Amino acid sequence: MNVGSGELLIVALSASDQDTHKEVMNYLVDSGLRSTLVTTEETCLTKIQDLSPDLIIYFLWNSTSLLDSSEFIQTIKTSAPDVAIIAIAQFSDTKLVQPALVKGADDYLISPIADYALLDHIVAKNLRLSKERSTRMIEGQKLAGLNQQLEESLRVLERDQRAGFEVQLAMLPKSPYKVGDVTFTHKIIPSVILSGDFIDYFKFADDRLLFYIADVSGHGASSAFVTVLLKNLSQRLSREYERLGLNCTAAILEWFNQELLSSELAQHVTMFMGIVDVDRGVLEYSNAAHFPGTIFSSKEKTEFLEIGGLPLGLYENPSYETNVLELPSQFTLVMFSDGIFDVMQQQTLKAKEDFLLGLVEDGTCTVGSLSDHLGLGVVKDAPDDIALFTIARAA
């Protein structure tokens, strides 16, 4: 019978039963296996190193302690964990088999070997076992290597993205930012590392304060690139406001829309934009599909400002409404991006909106307190970016 090919090590540490050792060895050599007989522990270990055997046949021997003859199996296992071990016990010593199996033998035979077909079968089976084990180990090592490479690439990518986020943070306006008694505060929690939510504000030459919150469709790097464009547009707006001749927030949104359209992006942008005019005591604002609605809160009332309006960067000629709101001496505007809904527990969108409004109505209207109440400090793996933005005027 063909038992397969391989390197065999026959370990016979006891001088007794030498006839069986030889008989088994001769039989296996005749079967075409390369076999080496070792009779001391030391040569056994050396040969394991030199030959890397595929199979070890280990003869157990009778002694005063049951464990004596199988103790060394453990040592073999340590130096060659893959190799299969067949223990052979004499017919009179079958009690030796169990400790040998416990110590790591894979199979056993009883000598004298009455049935060589059984020996063939067991040798062939254990040769396969050894080969499978070593293939598994090689593949395991290969996988571990790949895994390590992957982790390394991931670390590099992540480091790269973090560097990108640093750039993005640098594009965001200072927070908190105080102009007179008006304070702007914001916080952005990206779902990956880079964010598609964006916030900007600045002062015009005539002291009016322009602000917006924007949400680029999608999230991650591709959306983050669009925020760079938004920042660029706000800088142009700030520098060239007079020349551009945009006399209201609706006109500014239309201008943003044209600029985004001409960039032919795959994304669109929702944006809520307002201009705070402290001298005249008014807020002028327009919405381009930003949701949830901006919450306006004063001593008298707390309410959502209008939602709707078409998003930027999709339609050729959308028109937007400019709304004007009289500002009391004390007020707060609270804005979110829709990512906030994903981390809220309420069942319906309406309930979520009501909850946000209720929070602000009850006086939770700073970025810090809102973030605490909504558990944003502990948010991990949010499906969408989350932005929080408040503008407050103290009396």
Q: How far is the CB of 309 from other proteins (least distance, A)?
A: 5
User: Rule CB under 8 A: which residues touch other proteins?
Assistant: 215, 217-218, 266-268, 270, 289-292, 307-311, 314-315, 318, 338, 348-350, 383-384
Q: Report the nearest approach of other proteins to the CB of residue 310 (Å).
A: 4
Which of residues 53 and 309 has its CB atom nearest to other proteins in the complex? 309
Residues 395, 364: Cα–Cα separation, whole Å: 17
C-alpha–C-alpha distance, residues 111 and 261, integer Å: 87
Q: Give the span between the Cα atoms of 101 and 87, in whole angstroms.
A: 8
* Closer of 220 and 368 to other proteins (Cβ): 220
Distance in Å, CB of 312 to other proteins, minimum: 11
Q: Which is nearer to other proteins, 55 or 194 (CB)?
A: 194
- Cβ 173 to other proteins shortest distance, Å: 24
- Output 116 or 315, the one with its CB closest to other proteins: 315
Of 6 and 309, nearer to other proteins (C-beta) is 309
Could you tell me the smallest distance in angstroms from the CB atom of residue 295 to other proteins? 15
Q: Cβ 266 to other proteins, closest distance in Å?
A: 5
Among residues 319 and 329, whose Cβ is nearest to other proteins?
319
Of 130 and 257, nearer to other proteins (C-beta) is: 257
Burial of 215 (0-12, 13-18, 19+ CB in 10 A): buried
Q: In angstroms, what is the minimal distance from the CB of 321 to other proteins?
A: 11
Which of 335, 326, 261 minimizes the C-alpha distance to 298? Answer: 326
Nearest one of 292, 272, 312 to 370, comparing CA atoms: 292
Return the number of the residue (218 or 281) whose C-beta is nearest other proteins. 218
CB of 317 to other proteins, least distance (A): 11
Q: Least distance (Å) from other proteins to the CB of residue 381?
A: 12
Nearest to other proteins of 161, 267 (CB atom): 267
